[in-house]
Amino acid sequence: MQREHAGFAYPAAEVQAVVARALDGGVGHESMIRRAAAGLAAVCRDELDRRGGGVYGRRVALLVGSGHNGADAL
């Protein structure tokens, strides 16, 4: 069975460097988590729309790694 892959990934070291720069620049963890969650929601919405059937009532499963990734998914 062939599955579509809607996403992409960034290397952990690259993400950690961006997070460190943001924190050094005064952006708080809560703000970053909210932005990440909003971005994730937008990508999920766009992918569901692309596949047809709308968004309402659809389910999405998020598999997250260690660290603060789970907070982004909430």
Q: How far apart are CA 65 and CA 59, in angstroms?
A: 20
pLDDT-derived band at 5, boundaries 50, 70, 90:
low
For the chain, give the percent of residues with pLDDT over 70: 80
pLDDT at res. 22 = 94
Q: Report d(CA 74, CA 71) in Å as an integer.
A: 5
Ranges of each domain in the chain: 24-73
The average pLDDT across 19-32 equals 93
What is the residue-averaged pLDDT of the chain? 82
Cα dihedral 13, 26, 35, 12 in deg (nearest 10): 0
